[in-house]
Amino acid sequence: MLTKKFSKTRPVARVKFTLPAEAAKEAKDVRVIGDFNNWSWENGYKMQLKKNEFVAEVELPAGKAYQFRYLIDNHIWENDWKADDYVPTVFGAHNSVLSLIPTANGKKAAAKPAAKKAAAKKAPAAKAAKPAARKTTKAPAADRLVKIEGIGPKIEALLKEAGIASFADLAKAKVADLKAILGNAGNRYKMHDPTTWPQQAALAAKGDWDKLAKLQDELKGGKK
């Protein structure tokens, strides 16, 4: 998760990077790596474990967007679970995006609360009903398909739209069906190879994260 505080006197912003501890179980060293430190482990911003999350606070120049990811023990990559956006890479994964453009962010942040407050006044009963409806469509928090190497947030959304919403679903899926889902989504997704996804998902469904990490060490962008 990202928290930003823009300076009123200088073109900079104080950014708080937060990664849930469950995303980096038994990690000894977690760092924020990205455009702002040349994707260097040595220059990465080291995160501190506080209660149930890893945290790092840094000051960055405002007015532009940065790509970044979290690097765990210098060999496991993890995206921010609530980044401003995600962009695909040539490795079959996605990078998280941090936007430090205060004018655009400021307008969006100011508009949403006002809209919600007005809606609550006009139709309180309908407003109360919406959260319940949304909860029924959410997948379990543990089944984040982006933990499978080769799957980014956009592909995760495609799979869930196709009814593959959990590790167990993905473990049972046929590779041919996965390729069809990617193919139907357009040329941008045809380049991805889902061959190892069911194998990875089977380990994730069992909670065997050590074996999954070992397998992913042997892969490149989810491919053997």
Give the total number of structural domains in the chain: 2
Tokens standing for residue 173: 């899926």
94 & 149 share domain: no
Burial class from Cβ neighbours inside 10 Å (0-12, 13-18, 19+) for residue 105 reads: middle
* Helix/strand/coil for 36: helix
Q: Has residue 138 been placed in a domain?
A: no
CATH number at residue 87: 2.60.40.10
Domain that holds residue 158: 145-217
Check if the beta carbon of residue 192 is closer than 8 Å to that of residue 223: no
pLDDT of residue 187: 76
Average pLDDT in the chain? 81
> 204 CB contacts (<8 Å, ≥6 apart)?
147, 148, 167, 171, 212
Q: Which residue has the tokens 């994260």?
A: 209
pLDDT tens digits for range 179-224: 988 888 887 787 788 999 999 999 999 989 889 888 888 887 677 7
* Helix/strand/coil for 125: helix
Helix (H) or strand (E) holding 199, with range, is: helix 197-206
pTM: 0.49
Q: Has residue 224 been placed in a domain?
A: no
6 & 98 share domain: yes
Q: How far apart are CA 221 and CA 93, in angstroms?
A: 6
Q: Has residue 43 been placed in a domain?
A: yes
**Single-letter residue type at 21:** A
State yes or no: pLDDT of 139 exceeds 90: no
pLDDT of residue 125: 47
Q: Of 56-60, 91-95, 121-125, 188-192, where does mean pLDDT reach its minimum?
A: 121-125
The alpha carbon of residue 215 and the mean position of all alpha carbons in its chain are separated, in whole angstroms, by 21
